[in-house]
Structure 1
Amino acid sequence: MGVAIIPALLALAEQRDDIDGDAALTLITLGYEIAGRAGLALHATACDYHTSGAWNALGVAAVAARMRGLSPDQFRQALGIAEYHGPRSQMMREIASPTMLHDGSGWGAMVGISSAILAEQGFTGAPAITVEAAEVADIWADLGGRWVMTDQYVKPYPICRWAHAPIDGVREVMLANSLTHDDIAGIRINTFHEGVCLFQGVPETTSVAQYSLSFAVAAQAVHGRIGLEHVSGAGLCDAQVLAMIDRISVAESDAHNASFPNTRDADVQITLHDGRVLDSGLVHARGGSERPMPEADIITKFEEFAGPVLGAARTTAIRDAVLGLADGSSCLADLRAHLYDPVES
């Protein structure tokens, strides 16, 4: 959700006086709460699995409505417009043919902002059924009392979330037993149906690598981490990773199917060349509400991914500006200044 809500907030802020940290974080929370509940409502009522662009459109519309001072009726119209025009794209189509569509998030953000502006100008929309339908009333009943934002996750890896539990399972078994990839004869992954549908072969592009399962697990097993260099360029034809793919098998699990999409679990068994079989047990992916990532780990992840592109000084400045929103030492303009400057070549 943040991939749409935060860029939309930054764009909308260009037409506002400066926004302090408390106001910025309130707007982000508002966007997450509206988008998250709209997503839950869509999952509960739609017959197939849609991408996050659909509900991100409503979250962005809510942020824009708040920032532009829309009336309650204009806000209602904005949500109706955003839901109607939001990209209800089918997730499994993207899984079957990974490209640069990436969940329709960009279109969701554009629809959300456009919907608020249209409503402000008097355009009307059909009532948002993911908000107003009787069958989803329970999802909205505790708005402001229960925070669905706390149920979201931070990704440790630049890979589809559905692959994270298998990656973590391999990571943890290898760390606990001081293994290297040379010790491994085979890896069996048991996970839910949608995870099994992730790309299983050798990816030719970064987009395919990000929606892979066996390749991602192989990269973790070989390198002990998955960085940008592993899902792009020469990393896509790493001979050791490609050899490891051939040792990985994937199976669908009824138990993991039963818990999806509330959780995205897996278990793995690693067979060693000496004949031992090591079992991970049930694995909840790191970064979610079941296994939150410590703040220090989140910061380290940001620095690891941003540093090579932005440089150490600018990465540190962005980090400090983000953290300063919470303690009052920075405002949104401080962050925007560091984000908008061109990247030095």
Structure 2
Amino acid sequence: MRIVAEPVLRRPPTPDWAVRWGAFAHDLRFEDLPEEAVARTKLVIADCIAAIAAGAQESETLALAERLLASVGIGPHPLIGARVRGSAAAAALFNGTAGTMLELDEGNQYARGHPGIHVVPAALVAAQRAGATGRDLITAVALGYEVGARIGIASKLRVSMHPHGTWGTIGAAVAVAKLNGATAEQIVEAMNVASSLGLTTSRRTMLEGGTVRNSFAGFSNQIGLTVWDLVAAGFTGEADGVGTVYGTIAAEDWRPDEMTAELGTRWEIARNYFKRHACCRYNHAALDALAKITGESDVAPDDVERVEVDTYVWAAQLASPEPHNMLAAKFSLPFSIATTLVHGAATVDAFREPARNDARVSALAKRVVVREDEALTARLPVERAARVRVTLRDGHTLDAETYTNRGDTEDPYGEAEIEDKFLELTTPVWGARQAQALLCACRTLETAAGLDDIYALIAR
């Protein structure tokens, strides 16, 4: 193919959507946020803290904390759940990484990714540095979540890319810029600089159980902090870096109108989902259908002859029955079905080594058949559906289907269910009294004149 030289004779103008976003982000006040967005943002912050604290107990993350303190340095910022404090860079990387270890961080079905865990760790660090109030933190997190999620909506990532570590980097950068009192022009520059710094993430990492995948969100948070340092120092990006990267490089089908559609009235954080199954969300439709079956019939694992799952393409891809580690197990639909039948739920422990070594789970996972149904694939991205048929050894069959995952906008978990999840994850880390105190602090975050109490709680 012949190379065509296209010289850039002058810097083009900033696109209108970005100018509008810079002004919107600069002018946004806490009082401009609708009540629903405020309530949801507080839950997202709490949910991320819980996912981080629980994920921090894994052997890899505990070892990472020690190494980061030695290499990146100590400082005032909590490495949540590790009971140590480190530098801003160490805290952002550690907390973002720990938050994805257990596959329990929230997400956004419209953006096809996980905006919260890409924003909250960086925002917590920047808010501590800035001496921010609870309202400041809520506003910055909602804003960073919004810009990242909208880029996910406005573009279509290449199928070989993993969404972690991509547009979430821009969300982190905008949240940090907001907490640092950036001008409208600086916020635009932060978006464009951050667009060039996203990772070249591979989708195969999750399919192969490559745990480097868990660090992608950590790097997004760390880079988000660095972006502000670059912009404040005078570094610049290209005029429409977001459009270039998410229209021609990491993604395609760039639709900039989506960046400003209903801007300020439709908040993506208010359309998020929370997770209760501790595994890839692609598995959730089948697990929800299975829950319908087990809720109506007593199914003994040893009585199961075969489980058939018909679902959409991305879930059907997770068909390996023999995962070699915890991450691979979380991205195995046969294992998720089998361990849920044996252990009663897709809990954190249901994917740990003892469960993976359980002969009953292994044998049952090999009797799970996963197929793509093109009609269900065609329902994406609005619906993520699955049909499950359990055939018993006596010949009886049990069937169920679902078109909406529990926790989605259309079938949300109640606030009490989300808070129950928070306590389930944090009580083993901090004890019941401290976990309850932290939950109360998150509930009343908008009243906090400072955040020292929260930082003290998450540092213990």
Q: TM-score, normalized by length of structure 1?
A: 0.90
Name 2:280's counterpart in structure 1: 160
Sequence identity percentage: 28
Partners of 2:205 and 2:352 in 1: how far apart? 19
Identify which of 153, 163, 186 aligns with 1:40: 153
Q: How far off is 1:40 after superposition?
A: 1.5
**For residues 279 and 114 of structure 1, do their structure 2 counterparts lie closer, same or farther at Cα, with a shift above 3 Å needed?**
same
**For residues 225 and 28 of structure 1, do their structure 2 counterparts lie closer, same or farther at Cα, with a shift above 3 Å needed?**
same
In structure 1, give the amino acid aligned to 2:144.
G
In structure 1, give the amino acid aligned to 2:437.
A
**For residues 330 and 296 of structure 1, do their structure 2 counterparts lie closer, same or farther at Cα, with a shift above 3 Å needed?**
farther
Identify which of 271, 278, 283 aligns with 2:391: 271
Name 1:11's counterpart in structure 2: 125
Q: How far off is 1:182 after superposition?
A: 3.6
Identify which of 311, 318, 339 aligns with 2:458: 339
Partners of 1:262 and 1:112 in 2: how far apart? 30
Identify which of 216, 238, 242 aligns with 1:129: 242
Name 1:196's counterpart in structure 2: 316
Identify which of 134, 139, 150 aligns with 1:26: 139
Q: Is the 1:4–1:106 Cα contact (8 Å) retained in structure 2?
A: yes
Partners of 1:90 and 1:262 in 2: how far apart? 24
How big is each residue's C-alpha offset from its partner over 1:48-105, in whole Å with a ceiling of 9 and x where there is no partner?
Answer: 54413211101111101111111222111111111111114132x2233222113721
In structure 2, give the amino acid aligned to 1:104.
F
Name 1:312's counterpart in structure 2: 432
4+ runs of 1 displaced by more than 6 Å? 131-134
Q: How far off is 1:245 after superposition?
A: 0.7
In structure 2, give the amino acid aligned to 1:338.
L
Q: Is the 1:38–1:130 Cα contact (8 Å) retained in structure 2?
A: no
Aligned pairs for 1:89-168 within 5 A: 89-91=201-203, 93-100=204-211, 101-102=213-214, 104-126=216-238, 127-130=240-243, 135-141=254-260, 142-168=262-288
How big is each residue's C-alpha offset from its partner over 1:127-163, in whole Å with a ceiling of 9 and x where there is no partner?
Answer: 2334997952221222212122223211112211111
**For residues 290 and 152 of structure 1, do their structure 2 counterparts lie closer, same or farther at Cα, with a shift above 3 Å needed?**
same
Q: TM-score, normalized by length of structure 2?
A: 0.69
Q: Is the 1:153–1:289 Cα contact (8 Å) retained in structure 2?
A: yes
Secondary structure at the aligned position of 2:289 is classed as: helix
In structure 2, give the amino acid aligned to 1:144.
G
Q: How far off is 1:107 after superposition?
A: 1.4
Q: Does 1:321 align with 2:441?
A: yes
Q: Is the 1:306–1:315 Cα contact (8 Å) retained in structure 2?
A: yes
Q: Is the 1:162–1:194 Cα contact (8 Å) retained in structure 2?
A: yes
Q: Is the 1:174–1:180 Cα contact (8 Å) retained in structure 2?
A: no
Name 2:75's counterpart in structure 1: none
Secondary structure at the aligned position of 1:278 is classed as: strand
Aligned pairs for 1:234-313 within 5 A: 234-313=354-433
Partners of 1:228 and 1:139 in 2: how far apart? 36
Q: How far off is 1:238 after superposition?
A: 1.6
How big is each residue's C-alpha offset from its partner over 1:310-333, in whole Å with a ceiling of 9 and x where there is no partner?
Answer: 32222222222211215x368533
How big is each residue's C-alpha offset from its partner over 1:9-47, in whole Å with a ceiling of 9 and x where there is no partner?
Answer: 111122122412x3222221111111100111232x756
**For residues 272 and 149 of structure 1, do their structure 2 counterparts lie closer, same or farther at Cα, with a shift above 3 Å needed?**
same
In structure 2, give the amino acid aligned to 1:36.
A
Q: How far off is 1:187 after superposition?
A: 1.0
Name the count of aligned residue pairs.
337
Q: Is the 1:171–1:224 Cα contact (8 Å) retained in structure 2?
A: no
Secondary structure at the aligned position of 1:303 is classed as: helix
Partners of 1:62 and 1:151 in 2: how far apart? 20
**Which deviates further from its counterpart, 266-275 or 197-206?**
197-206
In structure 2, give the amino acid aligned to 1:96.
L
Partners of 2:216 and 2:382 in 1: how far apart? 21
Q: Is the 1:181–1:222 Cα contact (8 Å) retained in structure 2?
A: yes
Partners of 1:48 and 1:302 in 2: how far apart? 33
Secondary structure at the aligned position of 1:24 is classed as: helix
Identify which of 148, 167, 173 aligns with 1:61: 173
Q: Does 1:215 align with 2:329?
A: no
Q: Give the gaps of 5 or more residues in structure 2.
A: 1-114, 248-252
